[in-house]
Structure 1
Amino acid sequence: MTYRYDPEIAPLVPHFPEVDFSDVAELRKVEAAIMEFGTYKPPVPVDTRDFTVPGRQGDPEVEVRLYQPADRDGLLPGVVYMHGGGFVIGSIDAFDTETRRIAAEVGAVVLSVNYRLAPEHPFPAALNDSYAALTWLVEHADELGVDPQRVAIAGESAGAGLAAAVALYARDHGGPALRMQYLSIPALDDRMDTPSMREFTDTPGWKRSNAEVAWDFYLGGKGIRGGEGVSPYAAPARAESLAGLPPTFILAGEFDPLRDEDLAFAQRLIADGVQTELHFYPGIWHGTSQMAPQAEVSRRMVAEQLAVLRRGLRPEGPAPQD
């Protein structure tokens, strides 16, 4: 179909490679080209180190990367970040720009999670890894110089879906209190029964056929997606109630197959009494800010992302909800 893309980014569409999630081996061979988002030079020094944190309940250790502003004054907020990649690809390296930028320009300690990927590690592996990283950061807040009352969960695409799942899990299991959740173009609903998911079959960045394969991989095989019994900790849109979740920011785009599930999730959050901020961008596709970083709309998305995190994590911000 014809899409009314933002005129600045429309000419780029023919230059993006076709991506097929059904061939995992080939997908991972070309992953570097797909997930190459450039190099970010922070305006202030940021110290980084890679290490592992304990997994949950006998799971293997979780690979993480810690970002800490070198010039700091007092306690800083903490952000646990999950990368995108459809649950199948992606890494802390691929999203280094996003996490390093948050550390430098928000002034936060960021823990980026290299969670296990499907299909080798289906749900709940990625959820368990992400939750383990969150609990580790909160438990080590003193030594990291993190204010435990100002911890956020954040992510992009599949990683944003994981962030939403972690927030649900923490709410339901007495986990760490979260100041906010930042959900950028989140993958939330395995049922895939929205107009945008049905219609956007040839959009760059993400399309229905790849979403079908990714959910099948993540849920553990064909025949599970869309059926009964899928956990809300896998597909957060299935949660019966969203009440009690932390203040939430959601970013959605006009020509993203995930558009309608993102808008519906924001509406449900509002109806359930959760302080929610929704930014909807016309003319963009899934992952525009990474794929076309110099475009005006991409620069605006990034600036607003940083502003939202600064507001949500400021010392005088709203207290975490019970």
Structure 2
Amino acid sequence: MTDITHVESDVPLDVWDPDVAPMVERMRQSGATSFRTVGVQGVRNNLESIVRPTGPAMASVHDADCEGPGGPIPLRIYRPPTAPGSGAPALVWFHGGGMIMGSLDSFDRLARDVAAATGAVVVNVDYRLAPEHRYPAGHDDAYAALCWVNRHADQIGVDRARIGVGGDSAGGGLAAATALRSRDEHGPNICQQIMFYPGLERPVDRPSMRRFGNSAFLTVDDITWMKNLYLGDDPALDDEYGSPALATDLAGLPPAIVVTGFADPLRDGVEEYGRRLQDAGVPTAILRYPGVGHGFAMQTSTVARARTAMAEVGALAAARFSAGQADSTVSG
């Protein structure tokens, strides 16, 4: 890991979208402290206590379990009204939270938004969290969930040829790692990967990390602390499934949608990964949204630009699923 040479002391309010700036100002006035200071249980409690408006209505929502290497993995399956009762596309979805927090409940709104926007059945995965379960526990659970959806596609009414993976933040990193592993182990076919500002690496000295490393939504210290809790303190031990940016070969991966916010410290590393996918011949859309920072996909109830991003990403994903259906029909 490269040391960050200089991190700006603050992010000016005029950087933020008009819907976001008041939120940032409130956070500053409240004297929000670092994740490290609050501690693991504190950040978990804070995330779970946030009250979000109920997301889009679903045709059905039900809980299930899948077999995992550490025991049953809880799942929550969302079928949007536009999805057929059988043969629907599916997204195996991994929630954010830095690999140390988050649950099916705290990410219920986001799962509903993704299902409504993409028209896909979303299988939200409650993978094990650090520090109780360090790497590779979360990654192993993510891959096990993909394999379960592939095996049980008929039972849950989805098209085995149109299963994608996706996630936000840490979950986006899990999606990238799951795609890498499935390629390497000749596992289930993945139709596409959707990554909202994925956590792909430890902090690296990049312009976005220097300029936005003290953002109200995520700081360099937050990232370092959470990465250490999940991966351990020694970066020399990292591998490409824990830190997908370390992967040297990205050829043969599924088509990708890579999404960033302008004021996210992770922005430049995420976009570099997207360009590397493109260079490896992987069809990849790289979408950057102005005025927003890390976690903006969780802000659809209050931020118009987040709603726009969700609609645009959903349309791209739906088009890829439609192309996958056509390909399946032709090959069949």
> TM-score of the superposition, structure 1-length normalised?
0.90
Q: What is the deviation of 1:47?
A: 1.2
Q: 1:150·1:315 contact (CA, 8 Å) conserved in 2?
A: no
Match of 1:192 in 2: 204
Q: What is the deviation of 1:211?
A: 0.3
Match of 2:3 in 1: none
Which structure 2 residues correspond to residues 129-140 of structure 1 after superposition, within 5 A? Answer: 129-140=141-152
Which structure 2 residues correspond to residues 108-147 of structure 1 after superposition, within 5 A? Answer: 108-147=120-159
| Greater fraction helix | 2
Alpha-carbon separation, structure 2, partners of 1:116 and 1:74: 30
Match of 1:12 in 2: 23
1:236 aligns with 2:257: no
3-state SS of paired residue (2:251): coil
1:21 aligns with 2:35: yes
Alpha-carbon separation, structure 2, partners of 1:264 and 1:229: 22
Q: 1:311·1:317 contact (CA, 8 Å) conserved in 2?
A: no
Q: 1:150·1:313 contact (CA, 8 Å) conserved in 2?
A: yes
1:304 paired residue among 312, 315, 321 = 312
Alpha-carbon separation, structure 2, partners of 1:318 and 1:252: 29
Match of 2:253 in 1: 245
- Amino acid of the structure 2 residue aligned with 1:238: L
Q: 1:46·1:104 contact (CA, 8 Å) conserved in 2?
A: no
1:38 paired residue among 53, 65, 86 = 53
Q: What is the deviation of 1:181?
A: 0.1
Structure 1: gaps spanning 5 or more residues: none
Q: Percent identity?
A: 36
3-state SS of paired residue (2:222): helix
Q: Which has the higher contact order (CA 8 A, sep 6+)?
A: 2
Match of 2:286 in 1: 278
Match of 1:52 in 2: 65
3-state SS of paired residue (1:133): helix
Q: Deviations over 1:137-157 (max 9, x none)?
A: 000111112111101000000
- Amino acid of the structure 2 residue aligned with 1:13: V
**Higher mean Cα deviation, 244-253 or 302-311?**
302-311
Relative distance call for 1:197 and 1:143 in structure 2 (3 A) is same
**Higher mean Cα deviation, 227-236 or 67-76?**
67-76
Alpha-carbon separation, structure 2, partners of 1:313 and 1:292: 23
User: Pairwise CA RMSD of aligned residues?
Assistant: 2.0
Alpha-carbon separation, structure 2, partners of 1:75 and 1:13: 43
Alpha-carbon separation, structure 2, partners of 1:73 and 1:184: 28
Alpha-carbon separation, structure 1, partners of 2:117 and 2:267: 28
1:175 aligns with 2:187: yes
Alpha-carbon separation, structure 2, partners of 1:316 and 1:93: 31
Which structure 2 residues correspond to residues 192-231 of structure 1 after superposition, within 5 A? Answer: 192-220=204-232, 222=233, 224=234, 227-231=235-239
Match of 1:65 in 2: 76
**Higher mean Cα deviation, 211-220 or 96-105?**
96-105
Structure 2: gaps spanning 5 or more residues: 1-9
Q: Deviations over 1:137-185 (max 9, x none)?
A: 0001111121111010000001001110100010111111111000001
Alpha-carbon separation, structure 1, partners of 2:45 and 2:17: 31
3-state SS of paired residue (2:113): helix
Q: 1:192·1:198 contact (CA, 8 Å) conserved in 2?
A: no
